[in-house]
Homo-oligomer: A and B are copies of this chain.
Amino acid sequence: MEIINDQLAGGEHRKARVFERAWSWVQALPGKLKNKVTKVAKNTIKLGKDDPRRVIHSLKVAMALTLVSLLYYWRALYDGLGVAGMWAVLTVVVVFEFTVGATLSKGLNRSFATLLAGALGIGANHLAGLFGEQGEPIILGVLVFLLAAASTFSRFFPRIKARYDYGVLIFILTFSMVTVSGYRVEGLLEMADQRLVTVLIGGGTCIIIAIFLCPVWAGEDLHNLIASNTDKLANYLEGIGGGEYFQLPKDGKSTKVIKNDGYKSVLNSKTTEDSWANFARWEPGHGRFKFCHPWKQYLKIGALVRQCAYQIDTLNGHINSDVHVPQEFLQIVQASCITMSTESGKALKALGTAIKTMKDPKSACQHLETSKNAVEDLHIALKAASLENADVLAIIPAATVASILVEIVKCVEKISTSVHELSQQAHFKVAEPTVSPENKPQLLHRGSINPLLLDDGDDSAHVVITVDEMGSQKFSSGAKSPKTK
């Protein structure tokens, strides 16, 4: 009996608790709602501040849509196009993308696919008409089935998927709509014609607004992404070079944890790079980029930068482990490791700047050379070192860090080579000599300077850097000024 009472009491108690909880939840509701609204508002402002082009894009889409809608309200146009005018609205919503490349890709895909499918659809209708009233729907059904199956399958080809996916979709769409409508709607040709005109109006509006009103170029985004990815790795490497890992511990304590996770976003950048490079190919020449800008080379650099990021990720795990490196070993590798990471970081930074400013990346060569020399120094130091009575176990983490750094230097060299290729393909500006050409004639006119001496000066300004380890490549850097004599 007592047990039952207890159970009853327990039940009552539980009910009361549930009620209490529900009540406190209701009481907290306005506060929660307010919090939620504040959070969303904050997020919205942050999203807009992070990239103000987002706000502009939203306004652009709204403008294009309103423009096309207003056209529809305009009597003359409405009488000409009728209900088909709706297609213009639809086209604007579907085609207008964030970047010019994506908008162009979708707009052109849509236009051509509509044209082709419309023509084929009308042809199919004529063909089916030959089979009489009974046969027509059957023939049309079979044709739709075959074309839809073949087109859908073609979307699995990686190349078609990457560039013409939307076109194939619109092709199936238009073809089935034209054949299907042809069976019922009078004046099929007129309909197809109207559809094409409205698609062109909608697509044209999008493309014009996208290109001429604060354009967002996929190519430029790709360009900046690759440069900033290179920069992120550079920051990490410079960070550990100047950081505490390679410092001899003071007071027996060392705080080696490095919190520079900026490089992590590089690890997963492949998809973005691929899609931007794909859109960039659709874009016309703009600003510093010509029509046939070597976008593929950016992907090559991107892949190498990512490979370097993988190594940095492994390095990061080792650097942040809790092992004390013995002082004697640290003294052997310290100098060369610091040079390797700092200088390869500087080389990467120079490469990133070279990409960003589209200038000759030769300033990276010197840093790269210094870091390669540090690799040599490390090898020499290690060859000479003897580790008698050394704690092998304690040495290994530092040795691993050094070894990965050597690999990173190799990787940076590959990145440098491919940035040089890009610089040649895209005709990057050759860095201006510090003795600017404008000053020279002025100097000559003064008459106080011996031309022979000037010539000498010119020669000395012409530096030939021969990089042996780069194989047959020779970099010639120097003054661009004309030799006047």
Contacts and interface: CB of A to CB of B under 8 A. Distances in A.
8 contacts: A63-B145, A65-B144, A66-B141, A90-B177, A385-B392, A387-B390, A396-B399, A399-B400
A55 interface: yes
Nearest to A87: B177
Interface residues of A, number: 83
Interface stretch (A17-25, A181-189, A359-367, A447-455): A181-189
Secondary structure at the A interface, as helix, strand, loop or mixed, is helix
Copies of the polypeptide in the assembly: 2
Contact of A311 (B90, B94, B317, B387): B317
A16 interface: no
Interface stretch (A245-253, A263-271, A347-355, A465-473): A263-271
B153 A407 contact: no
A388 B386 contact: yes
Interface stretch (A68-76, A99-107, A417-425, A437-445): A68-76
Interface in A399-437: 399-400, 402-404, 407
Interface string A126-154: 00000000000100110011101110110
A183 B71 CA distance: 12
Contact of A54 (B153, B173, B386, B392): B153
A55 B149 CA distance: 8
Contact of A396 (B58, B153, B403): B403
Given A145-B65, A310-B314, A318-B407, A93 B386 contact: no
A390 B268 CA distance: 41
A307 interface: yes
A85 B393 CA distance: 76
Given A70-B141, A90-B177, A397-B403, 6 more contacts: A66-B144, A69-B141, A69-B179, A89-B173, A318-B407, A379-B393
A291 to B, nearest CB: 26
A392 B311 CA distance: 22
Which 9 pairs show the lowest CB-CB distances between chains A and B?
A62-B149, A62-B148, A400-B403, A58-B153, A314-B314, A58-B152, A382-B393, A271-B271, A310-B310
